[in-house]
Amino acid sequence: MYFEDLTPYSYHRSEAESGAVNVGWLGADHPFASGTASVEFLDRLFVICRDHVFKMHRGFHVCEFCPNAANAPLAAIRIGNEARLGFGEIRVRHQGGKVFAAPTLIYHYVADHQYLPPREFIEAVLLGDCLVDHARGSS
């Protein structure tokens, strides 16, 4: 599912007016910024994708860049822990107030495909707040 970075979030219609912007909704037919992410950013992003999922999905998304990922969800291991990816979304609020909406697969894209998210998103992950959907009762 592709959405250009920093465009208004629109994946779930009920949240389309939330003011959140897209980050990390990559697709195989679309180029993306690449580079090396810091260990600190990867560590923090992993924890957010593992422990602070904002919205869970009934199904899962697969990585369009991995040739053997056709019908299997992804799992990542970091800091001695496992995170199952592709089942949900995260929300991170920048200190300036902007909210970023990203799929949990963003961790895989950064760690394994060298996707480099926008600077504001990196700052939000390192210094901002994680948002959770309290209606779900999760954290």
3 in a structural domain: no
Which pLDDT score, from 0 to 100, does residue 32 have?
97
Q: Residue 35 domain-assigned? A: yes
* 2, part of any domain: no
Q: Which residues of the chain have pLDDT under 50?
A: 134-139
Query: Do the domain assignments include residue 47?
Result: yes
Predicted pLDDT at 139? 36
Q: How far apart are CA 34 and CA 4, in angstroms?
A: 14
Query: From CA 48, how far away is CA 21, in angstroms rounded?
Result: 17
Instruction: Report yes or no on 124 lying in a domain.
Output: yes
> What's the pLDDT tens digit per position in 43-64?
999 999 999 888 877 778 889 9
Nearest 5°: the CA angle 39, 81, 5 is 50
Sign, CA dihedral 21-62-80-51, equals: positive
CA-closest candidate to residue 107, choices 139, 75, 69: 75
In a domain, residue 7? The reply is: no
Q: What is the pLDDT at residue 135? A: 46
Please count the structural domains in the chain: 1
Which pLDDT belongs to residue 26?
97
Domain annotation covers residue 55: yes
pLDDT value of position 17: 65
CA distance 17 to 19: 6
Residue 19 covered by a domain? yes
- Residue-number span of the structural domain to which 85 is assigned: 13-131
Contact 56, 117 (CB under 8 A): no
Bridge partner list, 133: none
